[in-house]
Amino acid sequence: MGGSVGHRGVGGIFSRRNKCLVVTLIFTIALLIFLMNAGLFSNVSSYTGELCKVDDIPLQKNLNKKKFSGNWFVSNIKGLDNKLLATMMDFSDVKINFVYKDENNYDIRSVGGKMYGWWCPIGEGHVPTKDNNSPQKMQIFFDTSTGKKFGTKDLWVVKTDYTSYTILYSCWDVTSDGRCEAKGAYLAVLKRNTDPLPQSVLDEINSTVQKCCINPGSLRVVRHDGYCKKEHVEIS
């Protein structure tokens, strides 16, 4: 009789129902960890509390197109507001090569990795400048199926020192009074290499990002794990 009770106890612990509950619990914990890493529960706002007038966005003065050309590595971005979607669409090892054609045109080649380097797609496009008096106000178009869906977008150089970093800005949705909608503001920090920047330069970058009405603390870090080395060489 006592043995029967013991047998039922063991069977209860390892029953199919309890195994399913354990698996569900593990899956739920893993999902919560993923969502926390994705920043879905983060209370860091992407914005400084106001919407910038597009005409007030600070821009690099006297942009030297030749000095700006060449290879850049994406370090930080402000993109989609939905943290989960942003994480799912995030690429690592993102490198961009601005190929100088003339004072009004770049060709652009870029690569980014997904799934730990199992997929490192290369994108090609064009970056023209419409107004010679504003060389820092460029536009970008990618010759890919996704790029054709998005169409041509503004790409402005907010600030660069040419040798270590640059800040790019794009507004995809302007209000009737000339402000950039919060969800339509995009910003990227690029570096000439993947080495850490000095704190003085980081402070300068953060200050400039704030002037674009974007909280620098909300920028997503782009990982560089070295999974797309072959493609990096190919676009250089």
What pLDDT is attached to residue 163?
Answer: 97
**Could you tell me if residue 15 is inside a domain?**
yes
In a domain, 124, yes or no: yes
Q: State whether 148 and 31 are in the same domain.
A: no
Q: What are the distances in angstroms from CA 5 to CA 11, 13, 14, 15, 130?
A: 10, 13, 15, 15, 84
Q: Which of 143, 153, 150, 185 is nearest to 48 (CA)?
A: 185
Provide the β-strand partners of residue 218: none
Domain of 202? 54-235
Our measurement of the distance from residue 227's CA atom to the centroid of its chain's CA atoms, rounded to an integer in Å, reads 17
**Percent of the chain topping pLDDT 70:** 71
pLDDT higher than threshold 70 for residue 31:
no
175 within 8 A of 181, measured Cβ to Cβ: yes
| Total structural domains within the chain | 2
Amino acid at 67: K
Per DSSP, what are the bridge partners of residue 169? 156, 187
Per-residue buried b or exposed e for 69-83, using 16+ beta carbons within 10 Å of the residue's own CB:
bebbbbbbbbbbeeb
Locate 211 and state its tokens: 């002037």
On whether both 19 and 136 belong to a single domain, the answer is: no
Q: How far apart are CA 18 and CA 13, in angstroms?
A: 6
In angstroms, what is the C-alpha Rg of the chain?
A: 23
Is position 32 within any domain?
yes
Amino acid 22: pLDDT: 46
Regarding whether 101 and 27 lie in a shared domain, the answer is no
Residues 11 and 64 in one domain: no
- Check whether residue 104 and residue 21 sit in a common domain: no
pLDDT band at 9 (very low <50, low <70, confident <90, very high): very low
What pTM was estimated for this model as a whole? Answer: 0.76
Residue 37 has pLDDT above 90, yes or no: no
Q: What is the token pair recorded at 236? A: 């250089």
Residue 47 lies in a domain: no
Q: Please indicate, yes or no, whether residues 172 and 217 belong to a single structural domain of this protein.
A: yes
Question: Are 28 and 142 within one domain?
Answer: no
Is 131 in the same domain as 168?
A: yes
- 64: pLDDT confidence band, cut at 50, 70 and 90? very high
Do 94 and 202 have their domain in common?
Answer: yes
Across the chain, mean pLDDT equals: 79
Segment 97-154, tens digit of pLDDT: 999 999 999 999 999 887 655 778 888 999 999 888 999 999 998 776 666 777 789 9
Looking at the predicted structure, is the pLDDT value of residue 48 above 80?
A: no
- Confidence band of 79 (pLDDT split at 50, 70, 90): low
Confidence class for position 50, pLDDT limits 50, 70, 90: confident
Do 20 and 122 share a domain, yes or no? no
* 14 & 93 share domain: no
